Structure 1
Amino acid sequence: MKKTTILIVIFGIILIPILYFKYLNIKENIIKSSKLNKQQIFQKGEWISNLDSSSGISIRENKIAFFKKMKFTSDDIYEYKILDSIYQTKDEEDKVKEFLMMKDFSNTIYYQIIKKNDSSITLKINKTKIETFNLKKSEPN
């Protein structure tokens, strides 16, 4: 009985540090970074807000502008990029979030992208406001 207890203690002394460093202490081995998303361009056009039908986003190539009452000025135009937030360990890379980065000469603004597809973009505007923008369908000629 004594040999069994000694073996269990020795096994515990060896196994606990291995488990701790391999599984429980993994946070210390995570590298947090960002990289460009493979899809860099949203569909061009007007994306109408679900909260206010006279507000939304206008997109042309790599330029974006938020508008209110169907108007915006040149000061409202930003270049944009879509970024992936990445957690990287020794063995794998996980995309944890996606962000819209808007940049002009003096400002950089980030909005978290909650969901996106060819006809809808949902953004986390601030801690409490989530807004969805739907691509306005063009009128047939």
Structure 2
Amino acid sequence: MRDRDMLPIRRRRSGASPYDLFKDFVNMDWVDDMVGSFGSSIRTDVRETENEYIVDAEMPGFNKEDIEVEIFDERLTVRAKRHEDRDEEGQSYLRRERRYGEVARSFSLQGIKNDGVTAQYDNGILRIVLPKTEEAKRKGTKIDIQ
């Protein structure tokens, strides 16, 4: 058996494009894995209530200890680092994969009570609750659409 016989190959239902065949030939799946895991931005939903803003960020696969939330200079930054490396003694590997990387996303903030911000991580979702200042609660302008 050759080493290349054990390499994972992604098959597509609609048939393989020339690029897919090239990727399979040179084993470029690691590029897709790296970009898919770390190259993309953190997907977020931002909601507003009368008293607060709520940010829900998708961060599957991260441990709570690997996530950092910071507010500095009216900017909320969410950052996470991943380092996956498993050492298994006595195994004979034909291929072994590790994942390293960092993702980050920032949001501009105004009218937030910094000391009241909370964050909770559960099942791959990071929820950040940003309470509004009294001044921010009173502000609001309704815009007529023409």
TM-score under structure 2 normalisation? 0.24
Q: Which has the higher contact order (CA 8 A, sep 6+)?
A: 2
Structure with more of its chain in strand, by fraction: 1
Q: Indicate the structure (1 or 2) with the bigger Cα radius of gyration.
A: 1
